[in-house]
Amino acid sequence: MVFKLNSHLLSRIASGNGHGEDSPYFDGWKAYETDPHHPTENPDGVIQMGLAENQLCFDLIQDWLMKNPKASICTPEGLNEFREIAIFQDYHGLPKFRNAVANFMEKVRGNRVTYDPDRIVMSGGATGAHETIAFCLANPGEAFLVPTPYYPGFDRDLRWRTGVKLIPVDSDSSNNFKVTREALENAYEMAQLDNIKVKGLLITNPSNPLGTILDKETLRSIVRFINEKNIHLVCDEIYAATVFSQPDFISVTEILQEDIECNLDLVHIVYSLSKDMGFPGLRIGIIYSYNDAVVSCARKMSSFGLVSTQTQYLIATMLSDNDFVEKFIRESKRRLAARYRAFTHGLDQAGIKCLKTSNAGLFLWMDLSGLLKEQTVEAEMELWRVIIHEVKLNVSPGCSFHCLSPGWFRVCFANMDDQTMHVALSRIKTFINKEADTKKPKKTLRWQGSLKLLNPPRIYDDFINSPHSPLPQSPLVRARN
């Protein structure tokens, strides 16, 4: 049955494209979905490197689960808890769950900080957390500052249904994309000139897509900045446990514990278990706020995105097992580090550099600006299409992250096995060698398919043509291993 649309019957929110999916980047996903790589069934298929998933430690999880059937209320061992848990819909969440999450967050930060379980509020993944925080802190038309490059999902999560704007804080490759006080001030001033009220600053630390962490000085500078302007600071620490080499991760919480002037009511943390533990499907989003009113409000809003108590119970049991947690955190870092090294080494051999300050995340930030025929977004997009259709890797172009320096690409490395990684590396090597050999003018890289040229994304609120990355629309993971 075909049901005709009558689109003017729908709301403005529904009719607009704030969902962010009308972007050309879906070509990459389409290419992958129509021709996905499989080691035996489709070795020449497109390798998915655009999905920041952490698949390196499932054996540890599996092992733990086998030994702890009681962690499930749906096993004979755990069944005696079934009724109570299935009926529990209190938006405070299971106390055991909140305690376990607080404990985990502390351990991830080397026990250098403490978290109060009563400040932990649930949400529908970090996606839900960001939207909720925006609803709590800003009115429609008001804005958050966000350093570029940033996770494309923010455009939807923070703006779509809330009507809140995002104002980019510029950074570029000249200083390794660091967030400077000057850039913050500039962005703030621009907003003032445009008569836009800034309500907060959103930082992601460790950064997506950079894979870098903020050093103490920068963090302190940021805290001072928001305090002076009396605006909120939202710290998305979703990649906290993926810091795989020195220096150690410094959470905003550590800064607050030091001798620094700050109105605590301004600081909020967004967290999730999607990246650190590799559980995006379980929808475990967390808002941690130092502001009582925000905790209270966000908690009420969490009714729209509570974590399934079946899952709360499982996670509560798992994360209360200190031995397991410590082992997991340690081993996960080790494997991420090994993967990162293997990849960057392989790229290095092919003459490709990655951001040297990266030491975290599930991806590397690769510099292909040397391959661009000109330093423009259009050229970057051309190169990207070649990578998708010729090299057959779905990587994410920097412009989808609103990056100002063209030619950078985010390449995910933790969502595949070693074998696939080697295939990806050899394809890249082959491609680069071909480039070097032919020494043709870069024009020949032009992809013959439909080229959608973008307007350089000078971002304010009417994002119609802005690049977005497809979001949690990951197809069901096929057994590649």
Partner 1 sequence: MVTEIEQPTVELSKVAVSETHGEDSPYFAGWKAHDEDPYDESSNSSGVIQMGLAENQVSFDLLEEYLEQNSEASNWAEGAPGFRENALFQDYHGLKSFRQAMASFMEKIRGGRAKFDPDRIVLTAGATAANELLTFILADPDDALLVPTPYYPGFDRDLRWRTGVKIVPIHCDSSNDFQVTLEAMEAAYRHAVAMNIKVRGVLITNPSNPLGATIQRSVLEEILDFAKRNNIHVVSDEIYSGSTFSSSEFVSIAEILEARGYKDSERVHIVYSLSKDLGLPGFRVGTIYSYNDKVVTTARRMSSFSLISSQTQHLLASMLSDEKFTENYIKTNRERLRKRYEMIIQGLKTSGIECLKGNAGLFCWMNLSPLLETPTRKGELALWKSILHEVKINISPGSSCHCSEPGWFRVCFANMSEPTLEVALKRIHSFMDQRKTDAIQSPPQL
SS3 439: coil
Contacts to partner 1 from residues 29-58, by CB under 8 A: 53, 55, 58
Q: Which of 152, 206, 211, 280 is in the footprint of partner 1 by CB under 8 A?
A: 280
Site for partner 1 in 103-142 (CB under 8 A): 124-125, 127-128, 131, 135-139, 142
Return the CA Rg of the chain: 22
Burial class (CB in 10 A: 0-12, 13-18, 19+), 173: middle
Cis bond leading into 209, ω under 30°? yes
Q: Which is nearer to partner 1, 196 or 256 (CB)?
A: 256
> What x/- string results for residues 294 through 333 when contact with partner 1 is judged by CB under 8 A?
x--x--xx-xxxxxxxxx--x-------------------
How far is the C-alpha of 279 from the C-alpha of 346, rounded, in Å?
Answer: 29
The answer to whether residue 275 is catalytic is yes
Q: Judge whether 126 and 274 are in contact, CB under 8 Å.
A: yes
Q: Any contact of residue 262 with partner 1 (CB under 8 A)? A: yes
Q: At 339, which amino acid appears? A: R
Using CB under 8 A as the binding rule, the residues of this chain from 195 to 254 that contact partner 1 are 199, 230-232
Contact between 396 and 210 under an 8 Å Cβ cutoff? The reply is no
Helix 95-108 to helix 309-319 angle (10° resolution) is 50
Alpha-carbon span 422 to 428, nearest angstrom? 10
Q: State the catalytic residue, choosing from 133, 231, 238, 284.
A: 238
Q: Tokens at residue 323, please? A: 């031995």
Which of 227, 152, 223, 226 is CA-nearest to residue 469? 152
| Rounded-to-integer distance, Cα 379 and Cα 371, Å | 9
Indicate if 151 belongs to the active site.
yes
Rank residues 278 and 407 by Cβ distance to partner 1 and give the closer one: 278
Instruction: In whole angstroms, give the CA distance from residue 165 to residue 459.
Output: 10
Q: Give the end-to-end CA distance of the chain in Å, rounded to a whole number.
A: 39
Q: Catalytic: 442?
A: no
Binding range to partner 1, per CB under 8 A, among 235-243, 255-263, 331-339, 358-366: 255-263
CA distances (Å), origin 263, targets 129, 257, 271: 22, 12, 21
Report, in Å, the least distance between residue 181 CB and partner 1: 20
Number of residues this chain uses to bind partner 1 (CB under 8 A): 96
- Site for partner 1 (CB under 8 A): which residue of 256, 342, 350, 386? 256
For partner 1, give the closer residue by CB, 453 or 477.
477
Q: Is 61 in the site for partner 1 (CB under 8 A)?
A: yes
Kindly state the greatest CA–CA separation across the chain.
70
Site for partner 1, residues 388 to 427, rule: CB under 8 A? none
Q: Among 88, 327, 335, 447, which residue interacts with partner 1 (rule: CB under 8 A)?
A: 88
Our answer to whether residue 91 is catalytic in this structure is: no
Q: Which of 43, 110, 449, 472 binds partner 1 (CB under 8 A)?
A: 472
Rounded alpha-carbon distances, angstroms, from residue 228 to 52, 167, 262, 456: 35, 19, 9, 32
CB of 329 within 8 A of CB of 108? yes
Out of 175, 257, 419, 426, the only residue in the binding site for partner 1 (CB under 8 A) is 257
Amino acid identity of residue 331, one-letter, is E
Q: Is 471 in the site for partner 1 (CB under 8 A)?
A: yes
Closest distance to partner 1 from the beta carbon of 13 (Å): 6
Among 38, 79, 330, 453, the residue binding partner 1 under the rule CB under 8 A is 79
- Of 436 and 477, nearer to partner 1 (C-beta) is 477
32, 115, 150, 151: which is the annotated catalytic residue? 151
Q: Which two tokens stand for residue 116?
A: 């109060």
Residue 464 binds partner 1, judged by CB under 8 A: no
Q: Which is nearer to partner 1, 386 or 471 (CB)?
A: 471
Nearer to partner 1, 337 or 471 (CB): 471
Q: φ and ψ at 383, to 5 degrees?
A: -60, -40
- Residues 350 to 389 in contact with partner 1, rule: CB under 8 A: none
Q: Which of 87/193 has CB closer to partner 1? A: 87
Contact assessment for residue 412 and residue 51, using Cβ atoms and an 8 Å cutoff:
yes
Fill in the per-residue mask, 149 to 178: x = in contact with partner 1 (CB under 8 A), - = not in contact: -------xx--xx-----------------
Residue with smaller CB distance to partner 1, 267 or 377: 267
Backbone CA torsion sign across 268, 269, 272, 273: negative
Q: Which listed residue (236, 255, 271, 340) is catalytic?
A: 236
Of positions 6, 40, 438, 450, contacts partner 1 by CB under 8 A:
6
For the annotated catalytic residues, the residue numbers are: 151, 236, 238, 275
